[in-house]
Structure 1
Amino acid sequence: MADTRPLPHGYSVPVHRSLTSPILLAGAPRLATIVNGTLAAALGLGLQLWIVGLVFWIVVQGICVFAARRDPQFTDVLIRHVRHRGYYAC
């Protein structure tokens, strides 16, 4: 049987969406964006391959944004997937 009594005043609190959504930078998770930017800067500045670094950043950032639209926490899942061994792995 469901309890149909009204809740007392102050019992329920509205939770804003910004408190529950993950932090995204440029549409991708923060970790992925920082790693992507660091690698692109290493290509562009360290190896002096400016065009390659820029193209790398655009392509990888686009892939990260695409994956983040499907699952905003895909980096956490990917890290967990890499850490765990396969059950049937020899």
Structure 2
Amino acid sequence: MALRSIPIRRSGNRHNLFMGGDRELVMFSGLLAFALIFSAQELRASAAGLALWFGALFACRLMAKSDPQLRQVYLRHRRYKAYYAPRSTPFRVNRAGGLR
């Protein structure tokens, strides 16, 4: 009896992206740019806010293009940093007598 294969559709298994970048990072950078523009209410602040918005959007798109889950991987790396083993490689030979 052959195993039954079930196709996984691409539409049900997509990453949570907004405007081509990570959803939370894009929306937070838009919020920061919006706050800068409307709190200062100057032409220079508007230019700086728009530059900040387009620069952050470009960076988020590049990040999502290389790995759509890069933010989650980085946050997990930061959380587990205290648990990393004090070895340089998993292939290290552990000797009972120490270093020779």
The TM-score, its normalising length taken from structure 1, stands at 0.75
**In 2, distance between residues paired with 1:84 and 1:45?**
39
Q: How far does residue 84 in structure 1 lie from its aligned partner after superposition?
A: 4.2
* Root-mean-square deviation (Å): 1.9
The TM-score, its normalising length taken from structure 2, stands at 0.68
* Residue 73 (structure 1) aligns with: 69
Name stretches of at least 5 consecutive residues in structure 1 with no aligned partner: none
Q: Which runs of 4+ in 1 moved over 4 A?
A: none
Q: Is the 8 A contact 2:26 2:56 kept in 1?
A: no
Say how many residue pairs are matched: 81
Name stretches of at least 5 consecutive residues in structure 2 with no aligned partner: 87-100
* One-letter identity of the residue aligned with 1:29: D
Q: Is the 8 A contact 1:31 1:75 kept in 2?
A: no
**In 1, distance between residues paired with 2:74 and 2:40?**
28
**In 1, distance between residues paired with 2:33 and 2:59?**
14
